Amino acid sequence: MFNVLDSVDPFTVLLALAPLIAYLMVISAVRLSGRALVTTGGRDIAALALAISGFLAVGPAELFFPTAAATMFGPAVWFALAVFYGLSVSLIALSFPPRISVYGRTAEELYPPLLAAAKTIDANAAGDAQLLQVTLPGSGIHLRIDGHRGIDYAQIVAFEPNVSFKFWSMLLAATRGQVQGQVPPLPRRGFAMLFFAFCLCGVLISQSFANQELLVQGFRDWLWR
């Protein structure tokens, strides 16, 4: 693997791996801490888009780079490409139905706080622990938890397609409060992700920061076309 990377520009390695390493570090820290990260589905997609942005910058962005525009506008063309990428990610995020993403809890561990959160919105809320579903009769909304057994990541979605943004905001705040009040689950997960992040850090340091002159030159060549 390192022999292959020896032929790659050090700045390319830095640009590709840095966002992914940062993403893995944050998620693994959340998982290992025992706390839970409760966020919206849109923010979850945005974070994932940032994690892979480095690979897109050294891959498709290089392949379809607007050379003519770069000749005229210089480094400002990268700002335009970043805006285009942000708008594309926003379109993708808005295309998905609203949902709540939770890191650090399995679907089974998320069910009790979700039911408690639903009761703060609708006192008559009831649930089915086997199906991991919660019903709010007063609001006419049915929720379910999507997740895989043993994986501490789950999503809360609604069966109804037109649930209001106000309801999702209330449910997000209530769920976040209930989850943070939970006793941290054992055993902790995230060691494999953290180990993989450290391996990538080792690759990044050995291939990029060990060749600082090539790193600076690669940055100049990348920025100025």
pTM assigned to the model: 0.86
What is the average pLDDT value for the chain, to the nearest integer?
88
Token pair of 24 as six digits: 């893995």
pLDDT tens for each residue of 53-90:
999 988 888 878 888 877 788 788 888 889 999 999 99
pLDDT reported for residue 27: 94
Q: Percentage of the chain with pLDDT > 90?
A: 59
pLDDT tens for each residue of 83-119:
999 999 999 999 999 999 999 999 999 999 999 999 9
Using alpha carbons, select from 132, 137, 99, 86 the residue that is nearest to residue 113: 132
Contacts for 113 with CB less than 8 Å, ≥ 6 apart: 105, 175, 178, 179, 181, 182
Q: Is the pLDDT of residue 7 over 90?
A: no
